[in-house]
Amino acid sequence: MYRNTFFKVTDLCRVALSNIVLKRNAGHNKWSNIKHIKGANDQYKSLLFAKFSRQMKLAIREQNDSNPETNSKLASIIEMAKKNSMPKDTILNTIKTQSNSKADVHWHEIKGPRGSIILIQSLTENVKLLKQNLNTLVRKSGLAYCDSGAKHLFIHKGILIAKPSSDLTNAAEDCIEHAINAGAEEVETDCDDLEPGHYKFLCEPNDIAKVRTNLEKYKYDILHAEEEHLPLQKVSLSEIEYEHLVKFINNVQGLPDVIQVYDNVN
């Protein structure tokens, strides 16, 4: 399903832009189309910047350190945020706000049809209010909370999506050696969530910054770098069940204190 928020916001942007093209009429002038396209791009940036802000807050809370010079996780997220044109003032304001925050990390485990699991990570100062909002969504969706222990059905990893330089003529073969030398545990060159010519490197979460730096030495363009919880085993749903679960996940991700949502659905 949604392996990470990065791909989700990218898909949302593409859908929005495609809808713009489909809805164009002969009576619309050029300026009207430009305004619609700008609106879609602004929405995409807003979603992306919100994602980076949440990740920065989580990195600060986990390490109890708001200094990117000593917090490698925070530094890596800031680098990705800058690469995606997140304003410097927004980054600094996020760091300043979280430095004075008393928010804690919480995990919520939801079970769906056919053994599907939704793993929700939140960062909040008001866990009671968050649970009330989450309970409402769970009840309306006809889902339920797991008894306990669903988190062990996922493995915590660092994921980097990278595009090799055009200078690497044998990148498909060389990437294995590069992964080993960079400190990655595994590299995938062909999977459903990869665009052609892009590679996925897996590593320990604390090694993301190191692997990224080493891959950049081999002239890889790092497009995505963050921690994820990958399911040890996936389940398949019917189209109706899948759409129902997607709607629930979209609603959950709309809650302001939700950091990330993971699932084990194909």
* Structure tokens belonging to residue 137: 């969504």
Tens of pLDDT, residues 56-99: 999 999 989 999 999 988 998 999 999 999 999 999 999 998 98
State how far the Cα of 13 lies from the Cα of 252, in Å rounded to an integer. 19
State how far the Cα of 139 lies from the Cα of 142, in Å rounded to an integer. 5
Tens of pLDDT, residues 7-27: 444 444 444 444 433 333 444
Architecture field, domain 39-99: Orthogonal Bundle (1.10)
For Cα atoms 223, 57, 8, give the angle at the middle one, nearest 5 degrees. 40
- pLDDT value of position 6: 43
Architecture field, domain 154-231: 2-Layer Sandwich (3.30)
- Mapping DSSP to helix (H, G, I), strand (E, B) and coil, where does residue 236 land? coil
In CATH terms, the superfamily for domain 104-152+233-263 is YebC, transcriptional regulation domain (3.30.70.980)
User: What share of residues in the chain are helix, strand, coil (percent, to 5)?
Assistant: 50, 20, 25
Tens of pLDDT, residues 157-199: 999 999 999 888 888 889 999 999 999 999 998 887 788 889 9
State how far the Cα of 110 lies from the Cα of 118, in Å rounded to an integer. 5
- pLDDT value of position 78: 94
State the DSSP H helix or E strand holding residue 145, giving kind and residue range, or none if neither: strand 144-145
State how far the Cα of 76 lies from the Cα of 231, in Å rounded to an integer. 24
* Structure tokens belonging to residue 244: 């129902």
Residue type present at position 21: V
Helices marked H in 113-189:
127-141, 171-182
Over 80: is that where the pLDDT of 1 sits?
A: no
Q: Which residues neighbour 104 within 8 Å (Cβ) at sequence distance 6 or greater?
A: 61, 123, 124, 125, 127
- pLDDT value of position 39: 59
The yes-or-no answer to whether 104-152+233-263 and 154-231 have a common fold is yes
pLDDT band at 46 (very low <50, low <70, confident <90, very high): confident
Q: Which residues neighbour 31 within 8 Å (Cβ) at sequence distance 6 or greater?
A: none
Tell me the pTM. 0.76
Domains of the chain: which residue ranges? 39-99, 104-152+233-263, 154-231
Tens of pLDDT, residues 99-140: 888 899 999 999 999 999 999 999 999 999 999 999 999 999
